[in-house]
Each structure stands twice: as structure tokens, then as C-alpha cells.
Chains A and B, each alone.
Chain A
């Protein structure tokens, strides 16, 4: 509960978040709080460095302060409780037993701060038969039904590559915590929020569950092919592993496409009707593929989009960085990192009053703010810090 004065600091200035999260789901959620000006204190294990050349942690931990703190030591736990007393939100994504073993549970924390809001993001939830099983976003998405709906046919499921359980849960946590904070402001009471990594992806498949429960509906798994649109897929274009995606969703855009391709077979009036296109999808795809094969993806996207056809370059991570649209909208953030120089990261997709990018801070190494936090927030002396450092309870940079 730090002070907020004026709107220049970002909408969430004045909130203090104790961030025990690691890897992907939690750090994504707290990054949004940090971008919006909250005082996010990331608590890291002093024995594990945060920053490495692969940039995984640097991407997700900007605009946060870092304290290197051993929670498994009694004086370290004590410091955590002192921070709890002056914080609004605690968020963690350990396996359930880790917090229990540290005796850092919502019940113990409410005794220190009855207004505290705690959020746990376990793999499967804090209760239930799988609750103690380890999980990653990559495995949680499998339980939630995502890879079961991806594949070239129904024989082999395919994972998303983005550990889908993590980002979906991280994004969900942001709003739910604000709701709990609003509740606290109105009623004065805290809240314990549990978001399972395996729950959130299933919430993005609502129509599949509703239909299956009602009439047994099971979608056909067949690449990018759609039961309602045709053609619908990605086609190779000129260059190595270059593709363009194409969605024809109505008769009008189909006619335009056939006119542009100007191929006698595709121009047949029979194909004005979706059912006929669907029936001959393989043949039609072959003709479209022939046409795309020699073209440059970006050029042909522009050409088709100018005529109102939904088409898009299949961008790699590198192509995304140079995407003309995202660059013109100034989406990216160039961060000057002490160890690696200027690196370009994704910006903040949630529009609103976030801190101006020129004021963004790069990810701090473990313990980067230990001293400031202990002395300014908790009133420790220099001597105290020295003792805690020697004991290995706290790491100072």
C-alpha cells in the first residue's frame, strides 16, 4: 500500500504486489501490474540467477523490484511476513505443497494482514485428486482439451508450443485480482483466489463443451480445415518455410479470389456454393497452392486484403518483430539491458494508463532492490542487512 499521487504514475500505482511466481503464467500477470505502475516486489531464491542470455526471464520481469530472499529460513520467512503486512496482493505459482511446507498459507497471512488478497496458480487446483501432481502449462493444456483438438487428423494430438495453460491463466489472474481488490475496498475483507492452469484453457472452449454435453457433438480434426468455411488453411509461398493463411468465409470473397486467380476450374459456378467447395476441397487446395507457390507472402497478403479477402502471412517470431503494422503502432519496447545492450521486447497489449515506455525498467537481477526494500520499506539498518547477507538469508546485488 504505497502512495499514489496523480495519474502520471500509471493506473495501478499505489498497489503493492508480492510476486513469488516463476516461469511464465505468474510473471506474465505481474508484468501487467508492473507495466501499470504497481509496486511489484519479485521474491527470488538467492541461489538461482534470474537473468540469462536467452532472455526468458528478462522478457517477463521488467518494471519489478527484486529481493533475493530465502523463505525456508526463519528470519527470511519473518521478512516475508513483514512485507505481507504492507502489501495488497500476494501471488504464487508453486506446487501446492511448497507453500504449505513454508507455512505460508492464506490462513497464516490473514493473521498478519486481514486485507491481503492471495492468488495461487497451481497446475490442477488446490483440491481434488490431481492437486498434488506437478504440472506445467504444456501439460495442463493437454488435460484441458487443447491438443486433442489440434492435428492433421484425429490420430495424433499436437501441442500448442506456447504452454497454453500458462498465458491464459496469467491473463485471467489480472482481472480477477482487481475484482478482489475492489471487493476489499468496498467491504474491507481480503480474498483467496485459486486459478488452476488446467481450468483456464477449458474456459476458452466453452462452445465445444456445451455442444458435446447437449448432443455429443465432436469436431472433425483435419488440419486447419473448417466445418463451415472453405478454403481454409495455410499454403506455402516463395522462400523457405514461408506460408500464407487464407480464410474464405462467404460466397463474395470466394468469387473475388477465383477472379484474381483466374483459373477455369476455380471459376466454375458450382463452387459459389460452400458445400460444393467443401466436397472438392483437396482439388481446390491444389490449384490454390499452385498459384501461391511462386508468390511472396507479404505481397500476396496485401493484394488479397486490398480486395477484402482474409489472408495473412504466417509470421515467425522474427517476422513479428519487423511487422509493419505493429511497428507503426509502436507496439514494441526497446530495453537497454546492462548485460546485453538494447533488446526489443513485446510491449503492452492492454491499452490504458500504463507507464510511458520511456520510463520502463529492465529486469533486475536477484537482489537488485534487497537493500532498498529492507531499509526503506521495513526500516532495517545497514548492520541488519550485513548480518542477513552473511547468513545467506538475503542476497544483495
Chain B
């Protein structure tokens, strides 16, 4: 009998993925595929994926098995250790890939040139193979040999320039966002290619994903902005066009922390003024565009903060959302989110026990399918499955 709920019989069951990619982008793509049922064999060099050495660690004594970054990005996988930089290891890797559906790697053009690995190398022996290449800049073009980190990606991708105060240093997104985003895109690319291969007889493919192109897709405003430059505007949302918008679209403080107010339309501005008991501001022309009249923004910030001075974030959230229909949200800290009742009711997090790192709480896959969250299993220890696959 077929199951209505796909957790019982995950759709990617039977799909075999081999991964040599390290860090976050490739591993996150493979983690997503693993959570959907794929068998993922993570091939690590003898020292292990570099993310194993990246803080924060969950155990003070065994760092190889307790990096939070590694433990999160490799759930549901098997770990096989081999050194593909020597010919014996490369031969083992080739053998693993011969029977795989998907191969995920992160070799940049310098590494490929050094090891004489053409994009066709693995597909020649397995024409049904979908090879996902994830690199910061791709295998061609003037930046293809450039070094990168999340900060550099966000800078070149035009995201850094949007975050922070106008006269101050532009700020990065936290952690490894370009990598996560490219990982999601990588999983998308693989699923599109699998769809074409499995239901329409398409052959395998070499798919070259880059972090820079992923970020270039994530600007909400068109890049040309009618010739204008979208500038960062601190705690206030910056406008998506040269038209600007009213005050009150900002992050301001309540009694116990900050609240972010969304908006940008006259209708939401009117609702905000109603909530503040200041309909006169809505009727005042000089308050219709905070970017033409910056003073109006400061005045409204102040009125909002006064209105919230004696109210907790929870109280503001409830009243602004349910009475005034305003899109608002408390700015939450990591520990507060772990205790948040909305996330709890959605089972947005799950506890996973690891033999060395112990118990920790990790985000569940982002979606629910027929109301259920998928469960994921722990990350492997270094070489835990080498015997199973190589001997």
C-alpha cells in the first residue's frame, strides 16, 4: 500500500549520493537529500572535512567529533575515509561513484587543473551520473581562482552593501549564509536533474553552481533600480525603488528587547498610526516618505518606542498583530527561539544524540508534509562506515 505521508517511504529512497564536498554548501545540499531519503556517502580525507575543525564545539575533549557546524550539516550520512589525492584513493572513489546517482564536489579550477580532473571524468564511466560542482565563483571567468569566505561572497554578491548604517562599515549575514543558500540551490539543481533523468530519460549532467550567482539571484529589487543605488539604512528598511515609503518600517526597542516592524504601504502606515493613537501623522503630508524627510523617521521611532516602553515584546507582538493587523515580530535571540512556543508547536527543532558530542537541539527540515516534520538521524563519526563501503 502506498503511503499518503511520504515520511513512511521517503521519495529519494534508492538514490545514492557520494559527496567529497566539505564545509557547508555541498554538505548542506547532500544533507537535504539525505533528509528526503537518499543514501549519502560522505567521503572524507584522512583528517576529515574541514568543518570538523571549526568552532563552536560541543565537547571540549574531542574536537573531531563535536563541531556544531559539522554535526548539523552531515545528519543522515555515512562517513568513508579515503585519500582521493593519491591514485589508489581516487580509484576507490571512482568505484563508489560508478554506482551512484549523484556526486557532489567542491573542487575549484585550481584543484581540477592540478589533479587533471575534467568535468567529464566521472560521467564518462557513469553516464547516468548527476555531478554537482559547487564553488564560490565557478570553473571559468576572471574570479575562478579567487579565494573566498562568506564575508567575501556577501561583498561581491551585493548583499553586504545593503546591511548596516549608511556611514558605517557594511555588515555581513551571520554564520555561513552564502553556503547554506547555495546548498539549497544545489539540492534544487539535483532534484530538477533527477526529475528529468528518472521520468523523461534524460542522461546525467555536470551542474556547475556558484555562490556568487546564487547571491545575485537574491536581491529583491531589480539590480538596475532605475539607475539608482540601493543604500543600507541601518535599523530602517531601505526602499526597493526610488519611490521610498512612510516611516515606521524599522527595528525599535520595547521594554525587554527589540521589535521589527514591516510595511512600506500607506495602508500599513495608517494602521500603525491608529495603533499609536496618532492618526494626525498619517494625515500629515510631510510624514509620507521617510527618505525625503529623514526627520519624520526619528520622530516616529521615538513615538513607537514610547508606546512600547512599558510593554514586553510578547505584548507588542500580540496587540500589533491581532488587533492592528500589522506585520511585526520580536527580534529573538538563539536561546529564546529554542524556547519559543510557535517553533515548539511546529516541531521546528529536534534533539539528536551523538555518541561523542552528546545531545543537542538542531533545526528540523524547514517544511511540513501533510502536517508532519521529517526526522533526521545523527551525523557520522569520521570513517564510521569505511569498512561497510570499501572492504
Enumerate chain A interface residues (CB-CB to B < 8 A).
4, 7, 11-12, 14, 24, 28, 32, 36, 53-56, 58-59, 123-125, 127-136, 138-152, 156-164, 166-169, 171-176, 178-183, 185-189, 191-196, 198-200, 202-219, 223-224, 227-229, 232-235, 241, 243-245, 247, 249, 253, 305, 308-321, 323-326, 328-329, 331, 343-353
Q: Is the CB of A224 within 8 A of B71?
A: no
Which residue from B69, B142, B181, B259 sits with its C-beta under 8 Å from A171? B181
Interface assignment of B143: CB less than 8 Å from any CB of chain A: yes
A68 to B259 Cα, complex, angstroms: 37
Q: How far is the CB of A306 from chain B (nearest CB, A)?
A: 9
Q: Residue B232 at the A interface, CB < 8 A?
A: yes
Q: Top 5 nearest A-B pairs by Cβ distance?
A: A206-B72, A54-B241, A149-B174, A187-B2, A161-B162
| Distance between Cα atoms of A233 and B3 in the complex (Å) | 51
Most buried by A among B4, B218, B369: B218
Q: What separation, in Å, do the CA atoms of A206 and B67 have in the docked complex?
A: 11
> Which residues on the B side are within 8 Å of A167 (C-beta)?
181, 217-218, 220
Q: Which residues of B contact A183 (CB under 8 A)?
A: 6, 11
Q: How distant is the Cα of A352 from the Cα of B326 in the complex, in angstroms?
A: 41
Asked whether A59 lies within 8 Å of B331 as measured between CB atoms, the reply is: no
Q: Which of B140-174 contact A (CB under 8 A)?
A: 140-149, 151-165, 168-174
Residue in B4, B157, B172, B341 whose Cβ sees the most chain A Cβ within 10 Å: B172
Q: Which residues of B contact A166 (CB under 8 A)?
A: 220
Give the residues in chain B near A14, CB-CB below 8 Å: 200
* Pairs A–B under 8 Å by Cβ, sample size 13: A7-B202, A53-B226, A125-B345, A143-B332, A158-B234, A178-B195, A202-B363, A207-B72, A207-B175, A210-B58, A228-B54, A247-B151, A329-B138
Question: Given the complex of chains A and B, what is the CA–CA distance between A328 and B210 in angstroms?
Answer: 14
Rounded to whole angstroms, the CA-CA distance of A28 and B208 in the bound complex is 20
Binds A, one of B78-86, B98-106, B185-193, B289-297: B185-193
Interface-facing stretch out of B41-49, B120-128, B280-288, B353-361: B353-361
Task: Please report the total number of B residues contacting A with Cβ < 8 Å.
Answer: 154
Interface bits B235-258 vs A (CB < 8 Å: 1, else 0):
101101111000001010000001
Which B residues lie within 8 Å of A344 (CB)?
A: 223-224
The answer to whether residues A351 and B209 also contact, given A56-B222, A191-B6, A206-B362 and a CB cut-off of 8 A, is: yes
The CA-CA distance from A207 to B56 in the complex, in Å, is 8
A243 to B168, CA, bound (A): 10
- Rounded to whole angstroms, the CA-CA distance of A326 and B258 in the bound complex is 38
> Given A55-B224, A168-B181, A202-B337, A192–B360 Cβ distance below 8 Å?
no
Contact partners of A4 in chain B: CB under 8 A: 200
Task: Decide if A325 touches B212 in the complex (CB within 8 Å).
Answer: yes
CB distance from A63 to the nearest CB of B (A): 14
A341 to nearest B CB, angstroms? 12
Does A194 contact B157, Cβ atoms closer than 8 Å?
no
A160 to B153, CA, bound (A): 15
* Chain A residue with the shortest CB-CB distance to B137: A325
Min C-beta distance of B3 to chain A, whole Å? 7
Beta-carbon contact of B209 and A125 below 8 Å:
no
List residues of chain A with CB within 8 A of the CB of B221: 54-56, 59, 317
Assembly CA distance A139 to B232 (angstroms):
17
Instruction: Say whether B118 faces chain A, with CB atoms less than 8 Å apart.
Output: no
**C-alpha spacing A131/B341, complex, angstroms:** 11
Cross-chain contact B367 with A193 (CB below 8 angstroms): yes
Residue numbers in A under 8 Å from B160 (CB-CB) = 234, 243, 245, 314
In the bound complex, CA of A56 to CA of B173 (Å): 23
| Contact yes or no, A196 B148, CB < 8 A | no
Q: How far is the CB of A106 from chain B (nearest CB, A)?
A: 9
A208 in contact with B174 given A314-B161, A321-B224 (CB within 8 Å): yes
- Of A58, A189, A228, chain B has the most CB atoms within 10 Å of the CB of A189
Q: From B139, which residue of chain A is reached at the shortest CB distance?
A: A329
On whether A214 and B225 interact (CB within 8 A), knowing A159-B235, A203-B363, the answer reads no
Q: Report the separation of the CA atoms of residues A148 and B334 in the bound assembly, to the nearest whole angstrom.
A: 8
Residue B269 interfacial (CB < 8 Å): no
What 1/0 mask marks residues of chain B from 201 to 233 whose CB sits below 8 Å from any chain A CB? Answer: 010010111101110111111111111111111
Query: Which of B88-96, B302-310, B317-325, B382-390 contacts the other chain?
Result: B317-325
B104–chain A nearest beta-carbon distance, Å: 13
Tell me whether B380 is interfacial, beta carbon within 8 Å: no
The answer to whether B251 touches A159, judged by C-beta atoms less than 8 angstroms apart, is yes
Cβ distance A16 to chain B, nearest Cβ, rounded Å: 14
Task: Note all chain A residues with C-beta closer than 8 A to B223.
Answer: 317-318, 320-321, 344-346
**Is A139 within 8 A of B370, CB to CB?**
no
Q: B272 at interface (Cβ–Cβ under 8 A)?
A: no
**How far is B58's CA from A145's CA once the two chains are assembled, in angstroms?**
20
Interface status of B9 (Cβ within 8 A of chain A): yes
Task: Check B367–A147 contact: CB distance below 8 A.
Answer: no
Determine if A350 and B174 form an interchain contact, defined as CB atoms under 8 angstroms apart: no
Q: Which residues of A contact B113 (CB under 8 A)?
A: none
- State how many angstroms separate the Cβ of A246 from the closest Cβ of chain B: 8
Contact of A162 with B193 at beta-carbon distance under 8 Å, contacts A312-B156, A349-B210 already known: no
Interface flag for B62 (CB, 8 Å): no
Given that A7-B196, A196-B346, A206-B362 are contacting pairs, would A133 and B143 also be in contact in the complex, using a CB cutoff of 8 Å?
no
Flag if B191 contacts A178 (CB, 8 Å): yes
Contact B191 A204 (CB under 8 A): no
Q: How many whole Å from B9's CB to the nearest CB in chain A?
A: 7
Smallest CB separation, A354 vs chain B (Å): 8
Given contacts A194-B371, A311-B152, A318-B224, are A218 and B217 in contact (CB under 8 A)?
no
Chain A residues, CB < 8 A from B332: 142-145, 148
Interchain CB contact under 8 A, A156 and B147: no
Instruction: Decide if B12 is an interface residue (CB 8 Å cutoff).
Output: yes
